[in-house]
Amino acid sequence: MRISIKILGLAAVLAAAPVTGWHSAYAGSAAADDAEIAALDLEAAGKFDDAVLKHREALQLAPKNKSFKENAARTLNSAAVAKHEAKNDAAAVAYLEEALTLMPNFQAAKDNLMAIKGQKTNADGIAALKAGDYAGAVAKFEEVLKVQPDNKSARINLDVAQAQLLMKDDPAGAVEKLKDAVSLDPDRQFLKDKLADAQKAVEAKAAAEAEAAKKAKK
């Protein structure tokens, strides 16, 4: 069985907010200001890992500076997107979690963290589906949909996994699940083929039940 998953698009990277008022709030923290300016320059050059290090340096020198925290969180988000694109999701998750410790209400970082973790859970569900562990696959896809109810890929895969569970004893139920999957992705031949198989199973079950009823009357 071949199941595919659409890669979730991550939230757009936010531009660094203008940083103002450092000297008035933190008089005498020239070293912190220099580190922060260097961090922003490094981010602008696309050197996200180096920028993160400079942001950390600035925050060590001025740990209560709100602007520093917000700028660091945004750089960490940008760095996480770069790590994700480089297929290093472990590093991406670490950066996003750090961003949220600095800026707990940073929605882009929340969305990105949810998307990356959702991809991993969805991939685990697909692996379970391919291995024939349909109940395990259902649990994984439902886990994704709890936090990402609009995740179409997870919903389609959930329909397929549930259909597999229903196919033997309730092929009509499997048909309904696969109709939903086809409605979400009408051009996907795999889903159409699975739906056709389920419809044949319904017909076969009806024929078997009719034959059994005839024999019972004799």
Tell me the CATH number at 173.
1.25.40.10
**Is the distance from CB of 192 to CB of 162 less than 8 angstroms?**
no
Exposed, middle or buried, 50 (CB in 10 Å: 0-12/13-18/19+)?
A: middle
pLDDT by position in tens, the chain (length 218): 333 333 334 443 333 344 444 443 443 389 999 999 999 999 999 999 999 999 999 999 999 999 999 999 999 999 999 999 999 999 999 999 999 999 999 999 999 999 999 888 999 999 999 999 999 999 999 999 998 898 999 999 999 999 999 998 999 999 999 999 999 999 999 999 999 999 999 999 888 888 888 887 76
Residue 149 lies in a domain: yes
Name the pTM for this structure.
Answer: 0.65
In the listed set 105, 137, 169, which residue is the last one of a domain according to the structure? 105
Domain annotation covers residue 155: yes
Please tell me whether residues 90 and 155 are part of one structural domain: no
The one-letter amino acid at 9? G
Q: Are 127 and 92 in a shared domain?
A: no
Q: What angle do CA 108, 83, 15 make, to 5 degrees?
A: 40
Q: What's the structural domain count of the chain? A: 2
Are residues 197 and 124 located together in one domain of the fold?
Answer: yes
- Helix, coil or strand: residue 186: coil
Helix (H, G, I), strand (E, B) or coil at 34: helix
Q: What range defines the domain where residue 171 resides? A: 118-217
In a domain, 24, yes or no: no
Rounded Cα distance, 61 and 26, in Å: 10
* 113 belongs to a structural domain: no
Which secondary structure element, helix H or strand E, spans residue 91, and what is its range? helix 89-102
Whether 6 maps to a domain, the answer reads no
Q: Which of 77, 105, 133 is the last residue in one of the domains?
A: 105
Burial of 209 (0-12, 13-18, 19+ CB in 10 A): exposed
53 and 127 part of one domain: no
Alpha-carbon distance 66 to 70, whole Å? 6
Which residue is associated with the tokens 């009408």? 186
Domain boundary among 105, 132, 147: 105
Which runs of E-coded beta strand occur in the chain?
A: none
Helices (H) and strands (E) in the chain, counts: 10, 0
User: Quick check: is 21 in a domain?
Assistant: no
